[in-house]
Chain A
Amino acid sequence: NAGVTQTPKFRVLKTGQSMTLLCAQDMNHEYMYWYRQDPGMGLRLIHYSVGEGTTAKGEVPDGYNVSRLKKQNFLLGLESAAPSQTSVYFCASSYSRGGYNEQFFGPGTRLTVL
């Protein structure tokens, strides 16, 4: 099993450009999450999904959109990138049954917005 994978690994954008980050998991997890990680600020939840076709806002959702058309994929979109969105983005997934379960993280995408 590949676990949680993310595409791309690195990306440089100019202000105003758009892009989509792809997260895929092969563990049949119901829950999926997008975080951003900035120095000194830990991991902050952007959006999450409790199942195919559903999404919800996290702690820092502004400037991002998400979609979960298939259970195994969770897409994060930036419509008009800003320098403040320079960050490392992590996707994670977990089971939903039996209360809390471990969140498994992807390898991350390092995004720079110039």
Chain B
Amino acid sequence: GENVEQHPSTLSVQEGDSAVIKCTYSDSASNYFPWYKQELGKRPQLIIDIRSNVGEKKDQRIAVTLNKTAKHFSLHITETQPEDSAVYFCAAGGLTGGGNKLTFGTGTQLKVEL
């Protein structure tokens, strides 16, 4: 099955700096890569996703890049703000077997310091 590795497990940045979180996946059939943000005690919420026919996608301060050859994708947050502090999860999914299942990474605790 699919295996998703995520690094780093914790990340501390100064407000206004950029943050980068990286993930690798193992199954070349995966073609959907979402990123979820989970604030303390809350549910995960989708912040951005990318499909395998696209190499980069941007939404305001958030961007995701995908390298299918190397099987890795990254989340970039620019001009970080205190409200960006949360746990971020990457995931990978493929249509094999039905159900649009996702395999999640182990999460990155991002702390934005004032």
Residues of A that sit less than 8 Å from B by CB: 31, 33, 40-45, 48-50, 56, 58-59, 90, 94, 96, 99-103, 105-108
Contacts and interface: CB of A to CB of B under 8 A. Distances in A.
Interface string B22-58: 0000000001101000000011111001010000000
Contacts of B107: 40, 42
A100 B51 contact: yes
Interface of B: 1, 6, 9, 31-32, 34, 42-46, 49, 51, 89, 91, 93, 95, 98-107
A39 to B, nearest CB: 9
13 contacts: A42-B89, A42-B104, A43-B44, A43-B104, A45-B101, A45-B102, A48-B101, A90-B43, A94-B100, A99-B32, A100-B100, A102-B49, A105-B43
A69 to B, nearest CB: 18
A108 B38 CA distance: 12
Contacts of A31: 99-100
A102 B51 CA distance: 12
A41 B89 CA distance: 11
